[in-house]
């Protein structure tokens, strides 16, 4: 448990991706089995432990320390788990051995709430402050140390000799503590395949731009819309179904309304969307609507009714017992169409092919595509087999042009890691009409988004200097800027949002150009942004 606690502690302060990878890799090298497998499962958010009520943890602590001192301490620290970890009285360590992570997981998993509290109290006695904090985080379920499942698996790959895609393919066939899997990654024998429900790593595409098209021959390619959902794979066999995200995480539990319509045996590739059926058409909803579903591990019936899940199929990896992956896309598509034509399914449809004779026709079609749910175009070579990973020269994504707006820089904060001495995180705003206390009409700036990329290192240095010379106020680490610098920001789309003062939220905002020349009063109005809502 101590090694795992030290890992969580270091991760919680480590802002950089590479730093996190190094820490996890180092842990995997030093931690024994089966602890390290449970640690990976915890980082991937896969451990389901009985959740302990904060009130119960608090009572357990007050039984040991003066309630008044506890109250002052909690007020000061502000976080319950951290307060308990720090204030827990140190007992004679000789009689309390620190638990192993595997003990904690295995025993807590089987324990009821009351028994879990007894176990916790005993373990807290054996650990130091960092260990107690880690134990309480583990029991609380969410580690919140800024590590995704994919990052944890990437670290596992760097620790061993097996590629990330191979790990992701194997992963769903195993369960915590992943002992066999880790042994294989560390150089041992590959585990035998167990079932056909496993995840097959996806074939990915490369970005291209219009200027790249000259090097490609139009009739070698099929074109499809690039749908604005999340890429998924569905695997169904022997009456069982799994829905996987692009990184191989099993997300079946979040989409029962899609799963219940599966009555086939196949492994299919497609886009998960929220889509509503009207008579004969399927209307794709905005990514925002899908986001609401993605936020819920177990959706309620009302949400499933208002935001129904839908899968738009691109490709077939396996149908029945036939592995289609070695076949060219042209043939896989024929198999997919024939299979679908036999019996269309309510929550599934095929991603239609776009007919085009030459590139200029496609350029025109793309320029006109502003419909909700379309993110651009996909170009796929008809001859491409289905190959895991980002293979060169087969599939291309051609995103639609970003939207842009001129906005005024309002607040700045320093970045992290390499950028910790630079003001690199900006909040920007647009104008909105107001009436002042004397009844005179005027304008005010309201924040519309935050951006921290899209500039060069040279521009960052200049921005940083500008921030230091144009600060009018400070709130903690935040500098309030003189409303004088305009930048052109790019973003993929705008949505309505109740969370922001402007009532809007931008998707992927980033700097496009800094307009050192443009006066602030010529920046755009909030109204202009509203017209771009998709």
Partner 1 sequence: MALHPQHWLKPMPGGLYCEPGGFFIDPSRPVDRAIVTHGHGDHARAGHGKVAATAETLAIMGVRYGEGFARETQSLSYGERLGMGDVTIMLEPAGHILGSAQVVLEHGGCRAVVSGDYKRRFDPTCPPFTPVKCDVFITEATFGLPVFHHPPDKGEIGKVLHARELFPDRSMLVGVYALGKCQRVIALLRRAGYDKPIYLHGALQALTQLYETQGVRLGPLASVAGMVPAQLKSEIVLCPPSAIGEVWSRRMGDPVPAVASGWMRIRARARQARAELPLIISDHCDWDELLQTVRDVDAPEVWVTHGREEALIHAIQQTGRRARALSLVGYEDEE
Per rule CB under 8 A, is residue 456 in the interface with partner 1?
A: no
Minimum distance, C-beta of residue 83 to partner 1, in the bound complex (Å): 6
Q: 132 or 312: whose CB is closer to partner 1?
A: 132
Q: 73 or 240: whose CB is closer to partner 1?
A: 73
Q: Site for partner 1 (CB under 8 A): how many residues? A: 32
Q: 71 or 442: whose CB is closer to partner 1?
A: 71
Per rule CB under 8 A, is residue 65 in the interface with partner 1?
A: yes
| DSSP result, 224-265 | EEEESSEEEEEEEETTEEEEEETT--B-GGG-HHHHTT--S-
Among 33, 46, 58, 73, binds partner 1 (CB under 8 A): 73
Of 85-93, 158-166, 447-455, 479-487: span binding partner 1 (CB under 8 A): 85-93
Minimum distance, C-beta of residue 6 to partner 1, in the bound complex (Å): 9
In the range 381-440, which residues lie near partner 1 by CB under 8 A? 414, 416-418, 420-421
3 state DSSP class of 446: strand
Minimum distance, C-beta of residue 101 to partner 1, in the bound complex (Å): 20
| Contact indicator for 152, 24 with CB cutoff of 8 Å | yes
Q: 85 or 445: whose CB is closer to partner 1?
A: 85
Per rule CB under 8 A, is residue 189 in the interface with partner 1?
A: no
Q: Which pairing describes strands 348-350 and 322-323: parallel, antiparallel, or unpaired?
A: unpaired
DSSP letter, residue 329: H
Task: Indicate the helix (H) or strand (E) that contains 445.
Answer: strand 441-451
* Cα–Cα distance, 172 to 246 (Å, whole number): 13
* Cα–Cα distance, 205 to 200 (Å, whole number): 16
Minimum distance, C-beta of residue 412 to partner 1, in the bound complex (Å): 13
Minimum distance, C-beta of residue 468 to partner 1, in the bound complex (Å): 8
Q: 11 or 272: whose CB is closer to partner 1?
A: 11
| DSSP result, 160-205 | SSS-HHHHHHHGGG--TT-HHHHHHHTT-PPPPP--TTS--PPB--
CA 534 from chain centre, in angstroms, equals 22
Q: 90 or 214: whose CB is closer to partner 1?
A: 90
| Contact indicator for 191, 174 with CB cutoff of 8 Å | yes
In the range 19-48, which residues lie near partner 1 by CB under 8 A? 19, 22-23, 26
Among 49, 56, 80, 86, binds partner 1 (CB under 8 A): 86
Buried residues in 410-439 as b, exposed as e (16+ CB within 10 A)? bbbbbbeeeeeebbbbbbbbbbbeeeeeee
Among 33, 128, 323, 337, binds partner 1 (CB under 8 A): 128
Instruction: List the one residue out of 31, 82, 28, 34 whose CA is nearest residue 57.
Output: 82
| Contact indicator for 362, 208 with CB cutoff of 8 Å | no
Q: 71 or 191: whose CB is closer to partner 1?
A: 71
Per rule CB under 8 A, is residue 68 in the interface with partner 1?
A: yes
* Cα–Cα distance, 192 to 445 (Å, whole number): 61
* Cα–Cα distance, 340 to 253 (Å, whole number): 25
Task: Indicate the helix (H) or strand (E) that contains 330.
Answer: helix 329-342
Minimum distance, C-beta of residue 22 to partner 1, in the bound complex (Å): 6
> CA-based Rg of the chain, rounded to a whole angstrom?
27
Q: 73 or 196: whose CB is closer to partner 1?
A: 73
Among 60, 77, 140, 374, binds partner 1 (CB under 8 A): 77
The CA-CA-CA angle for residues 33, 35, 39, to 5°, reads 130
Taking CA atoms, 276 is separated from 6, 161, 340, in Å, by 48, 45, 19
Minimum distance, C-beta of residue 62 to partner 1, in the bound complex (Å): 12
* Cα–Cα distance, 89 to 493 (Å, whole number): 53
Per rule CB under 8 A, is residue 83 in the interface with partner 1?
A: yes
Of 62-70, 304-312, 429-437, 445-453: span binding partner 1 (CB under 8 A): 62-70
Give the tokens for residue 269.
């590739």
In the range 248-277, which residues lie near partner 1 by CB under 8 A? none
- Burial class of residue 337, CB neighbours in 10 A (0-12, 13-18, 19+): middle
* Cα–Cα distance, 137 to 150 (Å, whole number): 20
User: What are the residue numbers of the active site?
Assistant: 226
Per rule CB under 8 A, is residue 92 in the interface with partner 1?
A: no
Give the tokens for residue 490.
């790019």
Among 15, 146, 207, 320, binds partner 1 (CB under 8 A): 15
Q: 78 or 439: whose CB is closer to partner 1?
A: 78
Taking CA atoms, 230 is separated from 71, 207, 244, 250, 256, in Å, by 46, 17, 10, 13, 16
Of 11-19, 40-48, 134-142, 378-386: span binding partner 1 (CB under 8 A): 11-19
Among 79, 209, 444, 473, binds partner 1 (CB under 8 A): 79
Of 78-86, 197-205, 214-222, 328-336: span binding partner 1 (CB under 8 A): 78-86
Q: 123 or 423: whose CB is closer to partner 1?
A: 423
Per rule CB under 8 A, is residue 58 in the interface with partner 1?
A: no
Of 18-26, 353-361, 494-502, 526-534: span binding partner 1 (CB under 8 A): 18-26
Residues that bind partner 1 (CB under 8 A): 12-15, 19, 22-23, 26, 65-66, 68-69, 72-73, 76-79, 82-83, 86-87, 90, 128-129, 414, 416-418, 420-421, 477
């Amino acid at each position: 448990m101590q090694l795992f606690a030290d890992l969580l502690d270091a991760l919680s302060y480590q802002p950089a991706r590479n730093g996190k990878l190094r820490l996890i890799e180092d842990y995997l090298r030093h931690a024994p089995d089966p602890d390290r497998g449970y640690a990976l499962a915890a980082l991937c958010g896969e451990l389901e432990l009985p959740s302990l009520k904060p009130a119960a943890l608090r009572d357990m602590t007050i039984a040991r320390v003066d309630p008044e001192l506890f109250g002052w301490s909690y007020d000061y620290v502000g976080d319950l788990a951290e307060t308990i970890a720090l204030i827990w009285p140190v007992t004679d360590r000789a009689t309390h051995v620190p638990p192993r992570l595997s003990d904690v997981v295995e025993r807590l998993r089987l324990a009821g709430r009351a028994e879990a509290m007894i176990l916790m109290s005993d373990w807290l006695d054996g650990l130091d402050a960092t260990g107690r904090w880690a134990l309480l985080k583990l029991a609380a379920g969410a580690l919140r140390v800024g590590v995704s499942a994919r990052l944890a698996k990437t670290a596992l790959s760097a620790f061993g000799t097996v590629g990330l895609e191979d790990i992701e393919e194997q992963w769903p066939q195993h369960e915590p503590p992943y002992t066999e899997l880790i042994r294989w990654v560390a150089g041992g024998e590959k585990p035998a395949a167990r079932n056909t429900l496993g995840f097959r790593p996806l074939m990915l595409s490369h970005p291209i731009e219009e200027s790249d098209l000259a090097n490609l021959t139009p009739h070698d390619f099929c074109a499809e819309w690039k749908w604005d959902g999340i890429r998924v794979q569905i695997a169904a066999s022997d009456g069982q179904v799994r829905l996987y995200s692009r990184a191989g995480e099993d997300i079946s539990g979040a989409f029962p309304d899609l799963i219940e319509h599966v009555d086939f045996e196949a492994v299919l590739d497609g886009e998960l969307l929220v889509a509503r059926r009207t008579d004969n058409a399927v209307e794709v909803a905005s990514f925002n609507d899908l986001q609401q579903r993605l936020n819920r591990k177990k959706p309620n019936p009302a949400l499933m009714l208002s935001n129904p899940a839908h899968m738009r199929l691109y490709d077939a990896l396996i149908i029945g017992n036939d592995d289609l992956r070695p076949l060219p896309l042209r043939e896989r598509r024929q198999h997919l169409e024939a299979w679908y034509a036999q019996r269309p399914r309510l929550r599934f449809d095929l991603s239609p092919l776009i007919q085009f004779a030459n590139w200029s026709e496609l350029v025109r079609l793309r320029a006109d595509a502003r419909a909700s749910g379309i993110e651009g175009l996909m170009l796929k070579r008809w001859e491409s087999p289905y190959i895991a990973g980002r293979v060169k020269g087969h599939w291309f994504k051609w995103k639609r042009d970003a939207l842009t707006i001129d906005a005024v820089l309002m607040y700045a904060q320093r970045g992290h890691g390499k950028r910790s001495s630079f003001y690199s995180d900006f909040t920007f705003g647009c104008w909105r009409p107001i009436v002042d206390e004397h009844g005179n009409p005027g304008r005010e700036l309201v924040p519309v988004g935050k951006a921290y990329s899209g500039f060069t290192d040279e521009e960052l240095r200049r921005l940083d200097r500008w921030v230091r010379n144009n600060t009018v106020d400070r709130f903690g680490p935040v500098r309030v800027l003189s409303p004088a610098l305009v930048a052109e920001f790019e973003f993929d789309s705008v949505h309505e949002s109740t969370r922001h003062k402007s009532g809007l939220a931008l998707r992927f905002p980033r700097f496009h150009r800094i307009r050192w020349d443009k006066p602030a009063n010529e920046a755009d109005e909030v109204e202009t942004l509203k017209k771009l809502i998709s």
